[in-house]
Structures are given as structure tokens and as C-alpha cells.
Amino acid sequence: MKKNMGNLDRTIRLVLAGVILLLTLTNVITGTLAYILLALGIIFAVTSFFSVCPLYLPFKINTRKKE
């Protein structure tokens, strides 16, 4: 897959994933909401790691700078 995420996009997603993890580990978020947000955080982290967001593809969104 072609990379379609810029550095700012990746950083924001990683920070959000970290905040979600921190809030869950400190029991600020519990129950079903915690599981849903953890799943979302994992998705954010994985897409950031690979610099590809599958939801951007059908909409032709690309936040990565041209090289």
C-alpha cells in the first residue's frame, strides 16, 4: 500500500493512542468504553507505524508531503 499519512498526522494519532492507554490504565475510562477506545488506540498506533490509513484511500486523502 502507498503511504498516505504525514508526520503531523502520525504524531497526533500516536499521542491520542498514548492518552487512551494512560486513561485506561489509571481507570479513568472503564468498562465497554475502555475496550472500544483501546481498540481505536491500537488502530491509531498501527496506522501510524505503517503510515497508511485505509479510510483515506477511498476519499483520495493524502497528508504526506510530496517527495
pTM given for the model:
0.87
State residue 56 phi and psi, 5-degree precision: -75, -30
Tens of pLDDT along the chain (67 residues) come to 889 999 999 999 999 999 999 999 999 999 999 999 999 999 999 999 999 999 999 999 999 987 6
Boundaries of every domain in the chain: 7-50
Angstrom distance (rounded) from CA 44 to CA 27: 20
Contact present, 67 and 50 (Cβ < 8 Å)? no
Contact present, 43 and 14 (Cβ < 8 Å)? no
